[in-house]
A and B are shown apart, each in its own frame.
Chain A
Amino acid sequence: MSSVAVIDYGMGNLHSIAKALQHAAPQVDVRIVSDADAILRADRVVFPGVGAIRDCMQALNRSGLSSVIKSVAETRPLLGICLGMQALLTDSEENGNTQCLNVFPGHVVHFPESLKDKAGNSLKIPHMGWNRVHFTPHPLWQGIVQDSRFYFVHSYYARPDDASVIAATAEYPDPFACALARDNVFAVQFHPEKSQMAGLQLLRNFLQWNGQV
């Protein structure tokens, strides 16, 4: 039986993601874990997160999980979700330039103030709701229709230095990177655990993924 570890570092609610993983693949052993050994024993690792990046990085650094995540990023399939994706960049503008894990060189920036759509209506921040995701080929999109909608809630987004790691974009109103991929690491800004069929399919794909592109 394959296993997946959902990293618990005290940031937010992991029940949704654990329930969705279990539903997507009932035969997989899903564990919510916080100690390094348990994380490194799992076949695959999910790195979720909600809230503010400074608290997130403090929790990761204090617990020593920063280095564990970096080591997972070199060895086995890793899925970063929402703040877990943002934490994989080099740094974030949030909370006055917070240093992150630098798995994907690049920055996390805030949506510009006073965004307007083409009709001139102001766009709300956070970017919240179901938006279309336009992806480039990758095993994790298997069985998902191009431009499917996924559920987002965030005010910051990733801007990687190397555009070739962008695995998908969404528009608000300009295109931004909403999924990143390199080797065995995949990261999404949206919440697959809250994105109904398309989200469950992505999780199912991750749970079958061998980390090869």
Chain B
Amino acid sequence: MSLAKRIIPCLDVDNGRVVKGVKFVDIRDAGDPVEIARRYDREGADEITFLDITATHHDRDTIVHVVEQVASEVFIPLTVGGGIRTLDDIRRMLNAGADKVGINSAAVFNPEFVREAAERFGSQCIVVAIDAKKVSQAGEDNRWEIFTHGGRKATGIDAVEWAKKMVAYGAGEILLTSMDRDGTREGFDLLLTRAISEAVPVPVIASGGVGNLDHLADGVIEGKADAVLAASIFHFAEYSIQQAKEHMAARGIEVRLT
């Protein structure tokens, strides 16, 4: 086997700046997205994901410019998520140089949108982002539900069933975030990751909770993730992508070392 497990740094972009909050508060400025994307590319990132968290519609052009700039000098796959609601939003991002788009809330409100998007642009560029939170009580079988609005609103939808449904609708990949772990630095929700990864035929990206390099390796080995996504451990240069890969390789995971 020689397909490498992927490491994907994620840049949360607010009005043109990279930010990272802990549990969505305490947002720290981590710098210029183009500059940071360049560094990740040099360090051997396998892909880069931009999550646009700009609140106002008016300022959304900013992310388009960021993607355009990055795409003209960084030649690895780029994904853009956040605020993707229409086929036109997707077209704009692809034209700016994105290779994939992440669809999150819009899929929950209108699953048909995923089908339309996959038919129009191909499954290979449709990533469905799932924000899941554990809802089972101690002693019960594990159960997770989909949440929207940054983890504040429950939908009553079972996360595993939802992932299967999204693949049936044309999702080419699942970006799975544990809302219980996001920003905690306690590691991925490995049971959730494994439950989803084993339930769907398409690649699953684990996200939410990475605080050290062992967490990345655990996501692949125990969570069965095909790719691992992290933000803050890379932004503040705690670890480089290269170090992360060397660590994963030392734990027996096949990675792309450049």
Seen from chain A, the residues whose Cβ lies within 8 Å of a Cβ on chain B are 12-13, 15-16, 19-20, 23, 50-52, 117-119, 121-132, 149, 151-154, 170-173, 193-197, 199-200
* 19 residue pairs from A and B, CB less than 8 Å apart: A13-B94, A13-B99, A19-B72, A123-B1, A124-B204, A125-B202, A126-B202, A127-B3, A128-B172, A130-B4, A151-B76, A153-B172, A154-B124, A171-B2, A195-B76, A196-B41, A197-B258, A199-B75, A200-B75
- Among candidates A12, A128, A170, residue contacting B203 with C-beta atoms closer than 8 Å: A128
Q: Is B97 an interface residue (CB 8 A)?
A: yes
Question: Bound state CA distance, A15 and B92, in angstroms?
Answer: 12
- Of A127, A128, A151, A195, the most chain B CB neighbours within 10 A belong to A128
- Of A20, A129, A152, A173, the most chain B CB neighbours within 10 A belong to A129
Q: B116 to nearest A CB, angstroms? A: 14
Interface size class of chain B, counting residues whose CB lies under 8 Å from the partner chain: 35 or more
- Chain B residues positioned under 8 Å from A124 (CB to CB): 201-204, 226
- Chain A residues positioned under 8 Å from B227 (CB to CB): 129
- B:63-83 near A, CB below 8 Å: 71-73, 75-77
The reply to whether A129 and B76 form a contact with Cβ atoms under 8 Å apart is: no
The reply to whether B125 and A50 form a contact with Cβ atoms under 8 Å apart is: yes
- Among candidates A15, A196, A200, residue contacting B258 with C-beta atoms closer than 8 Å: A196
- Of B97, B122, B198, B224, the most chain A CB neighbours within 10 A belong to B122
The reply to whether A128 and B226 form a contact with Cβ atoms under 8 Å apart is: yes
- Among candidates A119, A122, A173, A196, residue contacting B75 with C-beta atoms closer than 8 Å: A196
Report, nearest first, the 8 A-B pairs whose CB atoms are least far apart.
A51-B122, A132-B2, A130-B256, A117-B1, A13-B94, A130-B4, A124-B203, A131-B3
Seen from chain B, the residues whose Cβ lies within 8 Å of a Cβ on chain A are 1-6, 41, 46, 71-73, 75-77, 94-97, 99, 121-125, 172-173, 198, 201-204, 224, 226-227, 256, 258
Question: Bound state CA distance, A130 and B6, in angstroms?
Answer: 8
Question: Bound state CA distance, A12 and B125, in angstroms?
Answer: 10
Closest to B91 in A: A13
- Chain A residues positioned under 8 Å from B121 (CB to CB): 12, 51
Question: Bound state CA distance, A162 and B46, in angstroms?
Answer: 34
- Chain B residues positioned under 8 Å from A123 (CB to CB): 1, 3
- Among candidates B97, B124, B198, residue contacting A153 with C-beta atoms closer than 8 Å: B124
The reply to whether A195 and B4 form a contact with Cβ atoms under 8 Å apart is: no
Question: Bound state CA distance, A170 and B4, in angstroms?
Answer: 12
Question: Bound state CA distance, A121 and B222, in angstroms?
Answer: 12
- Among candidates A50, A131, A193, residue contacting B124 with C-beta atoms closer than 8 Å: A50
- Chain A residues positioned under 8 Å from B256 (CB to CB): 130, 149
Question: Bound state CA distance, A128 and B125, in angstroms?
Answer: 11
The reply to whether A172 and B97 form a contact with Cβ atoms under 8 Å apart is: no
- Chain A residues positioned under 8 Å from B94 (CB to CB): 12-13, 15
- Of B1, B6, B172, B198, the most chain A CB neighbours within 10 A belong to B1
The reply to whether B71 and A130 form a contact with Cβ atoms under 8 Å apart is: no
Question: Bound state CA distance, A50 and B124, in angstroms?
Answer: 8
The reply to whether B46 and A130 form a contact with Cβ atoms under 8 Å apart is: yes
Closest to A147 in B: B2
The answer to whether residues A16 and B41 also contact, given A194-B76, A200-B75 and a CB cut-off of 8 A, is no
- Of A12, A153, A172, A193, the most chain B CB neighbours within 10 A belong to A153
Question: Bound state CA distance, A199 and B77, in angstroms?
Answer: 12
The answer to whether residues A126 and B124 also contact, given A13-B95, A172-B3 and a CB cut-off of 8 A, is yes
Question: Bound state CA distance, A182 and B227, in angstroms?
Answer: 36
Q: A173 to nearest B CB, angstroms? A: 5
The reply to whether B71 and A16 form a contact with Cβ atoms under 8 Å apart is: yes
Closest to A149 in B: B256
The reply to whether B76 and A149 form a contact with Cβ atoms under 8 Å apart is: no
Closest to A151 in B: B77
The reply to whether B75 and A193 form a contact with Cβ atoms under 8 Å apart is: yes
- Of B6, B123, B173, B201, the most chain A CB neighbours within 10 A belong to B201
- Chain A residues positioned under 8 Å from B202 (CB to CB): 124-126
- Chain B residues positioned under 8 Å from A196 (CB to CB): 41, 75-76, 258
The reply to whether B72 and A23 form a contact with Cβ atoms under 8 Å apart is: yes
Q: A34 to nearest B CB, angstroms? A: 16
The answer to whether residues A15 and B97 also contact, given A193-B75, A195-B75, A196-B41 and a CB cut-off of 8 A, is yes
A sample of 8 more A-B contacts (CB under 8 A), given A126-B124, A129-B203, A172-B3, is A12-B94, A12-B122, A126-B172, A130-B3, A151-B77, A194-B99, A195-B75, A195-B76
